[in-house]
Amino acid sequence: MSTTATTGRPQGRTTGRPKVVVLGAGFAGLSAVRELDGVDADVLLVDRNAYNTFQPLLFQVSTGGLNPGDVTYSLRTFTGGRRRVGFRQGTATGVDAENKVLRMEGGDDVAYDYLIVSSGIAANYFGIPGAEEHTLTMYTRNGAVEVRDRLMTAFETAAKHTGGEPPCIVVVGGGATGTEMAGAIAELRNTYVAENYPELDPSRVRVVCIEMLDFVLAPFDDSLRQYARRSLEQRGVELRLGSAVAEVREDVVLLKGGEEIPSALTIWTSGVSAPKSLSEWGFPQGRGGRLQTDPDLRIQGSDAVFAVGDVGAVDGAPLPQLAQPAIQTGKHAAANVKKLLAGQPTEAFSYSDKGTMAIVGRYSAVADIKWPFKGKFTGPIGWLMWMGLHITLLHSFRNRLAALTNIASHYVSRSGMQNVIVGEPRRVPQAGRHESDEPKAERDPQLEKQGGRAA
């Protein structure tokens, strides 16, 4: 199953102990490392970034409610206090399963005895023309910052050119991320823009959410879907339900029914898939490019490589792309590695569904709880449950305190919502000039290169 020629000398196995490599530092990867802490083996966490990103709160970064540092956590800090656990920053390019080597960009290949792949997902554009080129996503810290800066630039541009059309922000996808984004942008318009942009009529700043199904939040009970729909509409979100995107251009989204929606910024939340590069790794893949695993989470046909979190499909059935499935699969794969190291048989994975939540806006959320108690909640109670859970799941006390402080100041009082974290918006182009005509020194090439593209 080797897919890449040997380009460097594998590093590892210098202690005589077995080596376990965890690729990817999301919920699943960190859960696996925690489970392996203290095992009689060398554990190496590998990620392209030097930090973990708490993705459920990225929409708060993209709408100015949180700083990027509030939702990121140093991986060196995470591994530093753990016995026999190390970290390496780098990008994996393939796996030589026969020789048990993880291929790395630059040739610093890593030998392993067991490998846990938890590399996460990327946006799925379903082959729609222009979607990848003309939309932004929010699966990375840089992507969320880019959305925020482009959003603020759209407001500034509209304020400067009051004779033109007011901006229209388009969100493609009515799942949890799409409804969270659409609701947050609508509230930003209703508070921040209404108070601070006297040149703009906030009622003319459009927020459009496009969903091909006839309802939002497909995984939820119908009563919760209807609540979310009403809540979005009360905030002024224009819902295009039962509508499919035919093409995305730089400043317009075309629907299959023929409608053209002008767009100052298009945010893509419609679907995800495994990174395209995984197709070159030689492992069996299923729907959405997910790696196919046996019940014990080992990739089919492999005795030493596991796939967990969003990138894996257990026995052909993908789990929901939520924090809990990732945490549970990461922990279970690591527990099976410990069994293999001890010469014991592995165990099949069984998912414990604890429920699903989604936030719609200030004091508005839906929660379908299945553990430790059962119940369906909406409104302020659901909102408090969502906030409490996600702040608790942050990886450090500093992150929790910073997020709690910023969210409280942003949501509790209306004045807090009028003062957002704006970052560094792009320079507003002069009338008659395109943004690309502006001096390059005024632009941030790193954000333009990395923003909105999932790892």
Query: What is d(CA 329, CA 334) in angstroms, rounded to the nearest whole number?
Result: 8
Residue type, 428: V
Query: What is d(CA 263, CA 168) in angstroms, rounded to the nearest whole number?
Result: 5
Residue type, 45: L
User: What is the C-alpha end-to-end distance of the chain, expressed in Å?
Assistant: 23
Q: How many residues does the chain have?
A: 455
- The two tokens of residue 69 are 């540092």
The DSSP letter of residue 318 is P
Query: What is d(CA 55, CA 100) in angstroms, rounded to the nearest whole number?
Result: 31
Active-site residue flag, 180: yes
Query: What is d(CA 361, CA 383) in angstroms, rounded to the nearest whole number?
Result: 8
Centre a 10 Å sphere on the Cβ of residue 21 and count the other Cβ atoms it contains.
Answer: 25
Backbone angles phi, psi at 149, to 5 degrees: -70, -35
Q: Are 278 and 288 in contact (CB under 8 A)?
A: no
Q: Are 136 and 146 in contact (CB under 8 A)?
A: yes
CB within 8 Å of 320: residues ≥ 6 apart: 219, 356
Q: For residue 306, which of 291, 284, 323, 321 has the smallest C-alpha distance?
A: 291
SS3 label, residue 418: coil
In b/e form, how buried is each residue of 4-20, taking b as 16+ CB within 10 angstroms? eeeeeebbbeeeeebbb
Q: For residue 263, which of 341, 343, 190, 185 has the smallest C-alpha distance?
A: 185
Q: For residue 290, which of 176, 114, 124, 143 has the smallest C-alpha distance?
A: 124
Region at 300 (left for phi over 0; alpha for psi -120 to 50; beta for the rest):
beta
**Out of 180, 233, 347, 438, which one is annotated catalytic?**
180
- Strand 122-123 to strand 272-273: parallel, antiparallel, or no bridges (unpaired)? antiparallel
Region at 54 (left for phi over 0; alpha for psi -120 to 50; beta for the rest):
beta
The β-bridge partners of 47 are: 89
Q: Are 182 and 171 in contact (CB under 8 A)?
A: yes
Region at 288 (left for phi over 0; alpha for psi -120 to 50; beta for the rest):
left
As annotated, the active-site residues are: 180
